[in-house]
């Protein structure tokens, strides 16, 4: 039977992997400047400085793109909560501390650039956006609150499991949001952010993969806890349910993407269903995970059927309206 390692033991055992992956990240990442991705010449003063306050007609984004941009930005806004979670679990010593600082600085660029773009282009209501930011940041987030385990059972393994999948999910959402904006500037910005998220995911994925090699049963239990209770970090933000449904309905991020583009690539990378080093507890966790994946696939199929019917009804309604308008012209 495998002995479970303590938090401190895990940090010590994985410190070499953390150092190697910090160095890998620094060798691959490219620094960039948020101001280079914002069309400043489109900007103008708001009413407080003698200009005009926001009006919905000023936005060039569709309802879907606007909802996705707001959701993605508010997710980035909760960086202080994420920093606290990671620093408390990783510590600020040696390679762990270096990663915490570097990751936080890189993530901060995302929120800066997205907010500047949205305000300069008047793509969203700035007053409502600020109200949402205050509410969301006031509530904060706890990544390990999604683990399905009690506070005494949560660990660094739950954290690195969660952020592995969350970073990849965020990459997918940003990339698809960029396409939905129908603006080459927004698309370029979100491609840049998505590239960062991918490198962040690789760091966490490699740490978690090393943990699975080190303590297979203990690590797989954490992975299973996280996936079977997974929520995006924006789950508590204002309008999250409405915006989430809109994003899923129009291909920004849905259950099928979650399974096929986020969950399965990582599990395959770790060879979860090919390994033979799990003990009884690991085997039990793997069986739970397999059952979850089967159910997730069924849920995704049901949602796709409902979405297709809904989109078909909307298309038929638009066709009728066009014909009626033509007939009355």
Question: pLDDT tens digit string along 29-76?
Answer: 999 999 999 999 999 999 999 999 999 999 999 999 999 999 999 999
> Architecture of domain 7-328 in CATH?
Orthogonal Bundle (1.10)
| pLDDT score, position 148 | 43
Residue found under tokens 């090919």: 274
Q: Is 281 annotated as a binding residue?
A: no
**2, exposed or middle or buried, with CB in 10 Å at 0-12, 13-18, 19+?**
middle
Q: Are 259 and 300 in contact (CB under 8 A)?
A: yes
Q: Is 94 annotated as a binding residue?
A: no
Q: Are 238 and 129 in contact (CB under 8 A)?
A: no
The model's pTM = 0.90
Give the mean pLDDT of 85-107.
92
CA quadruple 184, 186, 188, 190: dihedral sign: negative
Compute φ and ψ for 38, nearest 5 degrees.
-120, 125
**What's the rounded Cα separation, in Å, for the pair 129 and 118?**
10
- Binned at pLDDT 50, 70 and 90, residue 150 comes out as very low
Q: Is 76 annotated as a binding residue?
A: yes
Give the mean pLDDT of 210-221.
97
**What's the rounded Cα separation, in Å, for the pair 288 and 284?**
6
**What's the rounded Cα separation, in Å, for the pair 186 and 120?**
12
| pLDDT score, position 139 | 82
* pLDDT tens per residue across span 233-288: 777 788 888 888 889 999 999 999 999 999 999 999 999 999 999 999 999 999 99
pLDDT > 70: what percent of the chain? 93
Q: Which helix (H) or strand (E) holds 321?
A: helix 280-328
**309, exposed or middle or buried, with CB in 10 Å at 0-12, 13-18, 19+?**
exposed
Give the mean pLDDT of 133-147.
70
DSSP codes of every residue in 98-112:
HHHHHHHHHHHHHHH
Q: Is 107 annotated as a binding residue?
A: yes
Structure-block tokens of residue 108:
């901060």
* DSSP designation for 229: T
Q: Are 172 and 253 in contact (CB under 8 A)?
A: yes
Give Cα separations from 308 to 177, 312, 314, 315 (angstroms).
20, 6, 10, 10
**What's the rounded Cα separation, in Å, for the pair 187 and 109?**
16
Say which residues have a Cβ less than 8 Å from residue 136's Cβ, sequence separation at least 6.
74, 77, 78, 234, 236, 237, 238
Q: Is 197 annotated as a binding residue?
A: yes
CA quadruple 102, 105, 110, 113: dihedral sign: negative
**What's the rounded Cα separation, in Å, for the pair 168 and 163?**
8
């Amino acid at each position: 039977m495998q002995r479970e390692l303590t938090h401190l033991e895990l940090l010590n055992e994985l410190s070499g992997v953390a150092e190697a992956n910090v160095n890998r990240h620094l060798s691959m990442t490219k620094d960039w400047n948020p101001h280079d991705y914002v069309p400043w010449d489109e900007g103008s003063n708001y009413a407080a400085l003698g200009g005009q306050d926001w009006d919905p007609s000023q936005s060039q984004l569709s309802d879907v793109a606007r909802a996705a941009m707001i959701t993605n930005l508010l997710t980035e806004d909760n960086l202080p909560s994420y920093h606290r979670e990671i620093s408390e679990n990783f510590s600020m010593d040696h390679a762990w501390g270096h990663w915490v600082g570097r990751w936080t600085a890189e993530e901060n660029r995302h929120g800066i650039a997205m907010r500047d773009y949205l305000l300069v282009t008047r793509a969203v209501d700035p007053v409502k956006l600020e109200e949402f930011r205050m509410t969301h940041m006031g509530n904060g987030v706890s990544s390990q609150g999604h683990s399905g385990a009690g506070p005494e059972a949560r660990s660094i393994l739950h954290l690195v499991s969660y952020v592995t999948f969350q970073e990849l999910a965020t990459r997918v959402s940003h990339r698809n949001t960029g396409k939905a904006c129908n603006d080459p500037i927004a698309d370029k910005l979100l491609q840049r952010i998505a590239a960062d998220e991918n490198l962040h995911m690789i760091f966490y994925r490699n740490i978690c993969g090393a943990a699975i090699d080190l303590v297979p049963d203990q690590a797989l239990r954490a992975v299973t806890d996280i996936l079977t209770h997974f929520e995006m970090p924006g789950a508590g933000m204002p309008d999250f349910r409405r915006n989430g449904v809109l994003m899923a309905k129009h291909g920004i991020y849905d259950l099928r993407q979650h399974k096929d583009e986020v969950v399965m690539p990582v599990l395959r990378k770790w060879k979860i269903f090919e390994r033979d080093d799990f003990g009884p507890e690991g085997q039990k966790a793997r069986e739970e995970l397999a059952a979850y994946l089967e159910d997730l696939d069924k849920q995704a199929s049901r949602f796709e059927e409902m979405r297709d019917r809904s989109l078909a009804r909307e298309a038929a309604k638009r066709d009728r309206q066009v014909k009626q308008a033509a007939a009355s012209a």
